[in-house]
Chains A and B, each alone.
Chain A
C-alpha cells in the first residue's frame, strides 16, 4: 500500500453536544512535515477538534485519519503517533523534570537506552538539562512549557499537537518556544498542528493555516494567500475581514482560578 500523503486528513467532521454544534462539517488536510496553524477565537471549536484528532473525544460524524489511522477504531496506533502539549500544564509538579520525562518514556514503551539518550538530547535542546533534577514546581511557566514540548517529543512522534503553546508567556519566551518547536520539527521531521490566538506568530511560523469560527472553517491556505485574498496587511486584519470580529482575549478559565486559589492555599 502507498504511504498516505497527508499526515492528518479530516473530512466533514461534526461534533454535537446535545443541540449545540461545536464543530460543523469541517474538512482539512495537513501534509507530512508541515507546520499547520488552527486559528480562531475561544469556543470556536479548536480544542474540540484537537480532542477528536487525539482520540479522547469521539466525533458525531465524519472521517479522520491521523497518520493513516482512525482515532476511534485504532486508538492505540494513533496515540503512539502523536505527542501533545495541552493548553493547561500536565506535568507532575512533585516530580523532577527528569522523572517526568522518564515516566512519559516508560508509559510510551520507549526502551531504557533510547529513553536515556532521548531525554538528555531533548532536555539539552530546551536548555533544561542543568536543571533536570529540580522539582517541576520550582519551574517558571516558560520552563514548564519547554519541558512539556521536550516530553511530547520523547517517543519520537510523527505529529506534535500544540494547544495554545505560548499562551500566558511573555513575548521573549514566546519567541524562544517557537524557535525550539521549529528546530525540533525540522530535526525530527515532525508535523506540527497548533492552535493560537497570536496572529503574528501564526503568520511567522505556519506553512498553512485554517481559520475556524463558530465551528466552521471560514478560510484556509498559506498566511500569504489569506492576506492576499482579503487584501489585508497582517493576518490579524485578514482574520477580521474573514470573521467580522477580532480574536477575543482569553478570559481566565475556571481552572485558572482554581489553580490560583490552590496556590494561595499552599497546595502544590
Chain B
C-alpha cells in the first residue's frame, strides 16, 4: 500500500539524516561491550563459559535494536506534539496502513542500528564463526525490531507527552535488557530470576540471534521455539499497537 511505503520511507530518511542520533545510540552498546565484554571475559573463561565477547555480542546487538525500536515507536508522541501526526490522520488512508508503515519503518531503522552495532562488535573482536547463518540472524534481528517497535507504538499511542519517558526507560526498557539472557546464560540462575528471564520476550530473540551468529551458547530453547514465541508475540503486539493507535484522537 502506498501509505505504508511512504511512511516507511519517511522513517528511513529521518534515520539516515540524524547522524548524531545514530552515533549517540552507539555509545551505550559500545560501553557495555568494551567494559563488560573485556572486564568479565577472563572470569567467564575461567568458569568454563568460553569467549565472553562472543557470548554477549548478540546480546549487545539486541540491546541496540531494543532501544532504537522502542524509541522509534514512542516517536509518535513527538509527531503528535509537533503536529505531523495530524497530517497523516486526516488523509484518506486507513489507520492500519499508517500504523503498519510507521512500525515497519521503525523496525527497519532499529534493525539497521543493530547492523551497525554488529559491525562495531566485529571490530571490537567479535569473531564471526563459520557456522554463521546471516539470513537467519537477519530474521531474528527484524523480529526483535518489529516486536519492540510495536511495544513502543502502543506506549506512544496512549502516553500524552514525553514526561513519562524516563518511566518507560527505567521500568520497561532497562529491565527488559537486564532481565534477559543478554549478559548471562539462563542455565543455573536462581529460580525467581529464571522465571523472569523466561517470561521476557527479548530472551528468545537473543537466544535465536546467538544461535544464528555463534556455534556455542545459542538455541538453548531450540530454533523453532524461539521463532514461534517471537513471531506470535510480535503479531499480538502489532495488533495491540494498531488498536491503540486507531483510538488516538486529534
Interface residues of A (CB under 8 A from B): 51, 54-57, 76, 79-80, 84, 86, 88-95, 99, 102-104, 106-109, 255, 258-259, 262, 267-268
Contact = CB atoms under 8 A, between A and B. Distances in A.
B89 interface: yes
B250 A57 contact: yes
A193 B88 CA distance: 21
B5 interface: yes
Interface of B: 2-3, 5-6, 10, 13-14, 17-18, 78, 81-93, 161, 249-250
Given A57-B250, A109-B2, 7 more contacts: A56-B249, A94-B17, A94-B18, A104-B87, A108-B91, A109-B92, A259-B81
Nearest to A92: B84
Given A80-B92, A89-B83, A91-B84, A103 B6 contact: yes
A142 B13 CA distance: 25
10 contacts: A51-B250, A90-B83, A92-B14, A93-B82, A94-B14, A106-B5, A107-B6, A107-B88, A258-B81, A258-B161
Contacts of B84: 90-92
B6 to A, nearest CB: 4
A89 B82 CA distance: 7
A255 B78 CA distance: 11
Contacts of B2: 106-107, 109
Contacts of A91: 83-84, 87
A197 B161 CA distance: 29
Contacts of A102: 6
Nearest to B93: A107
Residue among A94, A102, A259, A268 with the highest chain B CB neighbour number at 10 A: A94
A80 B92 CA distance: 6
Nearest to B87: A90
A135 to B, nearest CB: 8
A256 to B, nearest CB: 11
Contacts of B249: 56-57
B242 to A, nearest CB: 17
Contacts of A262: 81-82
Contacts of B87: 90-92, 104, 107
A54 B81 contact: no
B81 A255 contact: yes
- Say what secondary structure dominates the interface of chain B: helix
B92 A76 contact: yes
A92 B90 contact: no
B82 A86 contact: no
A257 to B, nearest CB: 11
Contacts of A255: 81
A95 B81 CA distance: 17
Nearest to A82: B90
Contact of B90 (A84, A94, A267): A84
A239 B225 CA distance: 70
Contacts of B93: 107
A107 B83 CA distance: 16
B173 to A, nearest CB: 19
Contacts of B81: 255, 258-259, 262
Contacts of B250: 51, 56-57
Nearest to B85: A90
Residue among B6, B90, B161 with the highest chain A CB neighbour number at 10 A: B90
Nearest to A51: B250
B72 to A, nearest CB: 14
Nearest to A54: B90
Residue among B17, B84, B85, B89 with the highest chain A CB neighbour number at 10 A: B84
B154 to A, nearest CB: 21
Contacts of A103: 6, 10
Contacts of A108: 91-92
Q: Nearest 4 pairs between A and B by C-beta?
A: A90-B83, A79-B92, A106-B6, A107-B91
A99 B11 CA distance: 12
B146 to A, nearest CB: 22
A92 B75 CA distance: 13
A259 B83 CA distance: 11
A88 B5 contact: no
A262 B80 CA distance: 14
Contacts of B89: 56
Nearest to A89: B83
B241 to A, nearest CB: 20
Nearest to A106: B6
